[in-house]
Amino acid sequence: MSGKNTLNNKETVRDASASLTVQDKKPGVRRESFAFVIYLGFALVTLAALLFCVCVGSVSVPLKETFEVILKGIFGRELPEGTSQYIILSTRLPRVLCAALVGASLSVCGGAMQGLLKNPLADGSTLGVSSGASLGAVLAIAFGITIPSLPFAGTVVMAMLFAFLSLVVILSLSYKMDFSLSTNTIILIGVIFSMFVSSVMSLVITFASEKVKQITFWTMGSLAGSSYANVLMLFIALVLFGGTLFRYSRELNAFAVGEDNARHIGVNVKRVKLIVLISVSALIGVCVSVGGTIGFVGLVMPHMTRMVVGPNHKKLLPATVFSGAVFLMLADLVSRVLFSPRELPIGVVTSFVGSIVFVYIFYKSRRGK
């Protein structure tokens, strides 16, 4: 009997997703057309951005040479000794790949949060999860918390643990205040929690004065020193937790129409909320542990991508993977070359560009009403 109910729920959610597409086809609304050709276009732009970011830097390497070195490195062929080989394979490629994966992950999290909470300002940062992950990582850096034989694992574990604990605290407080776990309550508690965490981080920095420079630069975001181990960890996290978010894209469509609507058509609102929020917190925790606090990616990129592919999360979430990756790769490139040899924190670049773009998008959307 329960199996039949589950099947009926899936069918009703599918109907809601279909109704969202039908609404897009009504007169006066832009028809949503997203074909394989657009996916291919996104992929080619991402690949071009990756190669460009690997080529350009304080020491520029010709595109042909870069392509040859990467191909030979992939297929395990012998490489001629030289600076370009070291720069590309040991330093620049892992950093650019990390930038792409962090950008993709944060963008997917932002898209899922905005759909789930039906709020254009929803993101890991506004929810308080990013702040919690940052606190965990700062504690690991300040007090030298490590795991034997895995130097960076202490920061990763602490960031993920505190991201999850932050989510538990935020949801618990929200539930105490509002049993229905309404969107406005969750966001309000998230903002208050972020302020509290910020004060705790300031206190930690006071007692770890010898590591102030490292912590401060990290809290503004930095992908310097990224390794292939970081790339693998980010890739696995994106596949596991990002895949979970893709799995609930139909339910996110139902939430985008309205939480009451989702409940009426058979979506288990609390269960879906918990699964999506836990997946987002885990993915953000991994990203923060590698790149620090990088703002505005999850807030702005889903908006820009939605202008191209429409509101259907089944199409939107995969597209945000590409757009977020391209944006953060280019932002990382700017942080490396703008004041070379001095390097800017990547969070400074994303916040500067993201805030301007967000104000423009907000202005256009309000003007269109």
pLDDT at 320: 94
Q: Which residue ranges in the chain fall short of pLDDT 70?
A: 1-35, 75-83, 148-152, 180-181, 183, 365-369
| Contact (Cβ atoms closer than 8 angstroms) between residue 194 and residue 125 | yes
- Output the domain CATH number for residue 313: 1.10.3470.10
pLDDT at 80: 58
Q: pLDDT tens for residues 328-348?
A: 999 999 999 888 778 888 988
At a CB cut-off of 8 Å and minimum separation 6, what does 338 contact? 344, 349
Q: How big is the CA angle at 346 (ends 156 and 223), to the nearest 5 degrees? A: 40
The most distant pair of C-alpha atoms in the chain lies apart, rounded to whole Å, by: 68
Q: Which domain holds residue 241?
A: 2-367
As a residue count, the chain comes to 369
Rounded CA-CA distance 357/171 in Å is 31
| Tally of structural domains, the chain | 1
Q: pLDDT tens for residues 63-78?
A: 788 777 777 777 666 6
* Of 306, 300, 308, residue with least CA distance to 356: 300
Give per-residue burial for 75-87: e unless 16+ CB within 10 Å, then b. Answer: eeeeeeeeebbeb
Rounded CA-CA distance 291/325 in Å is 14
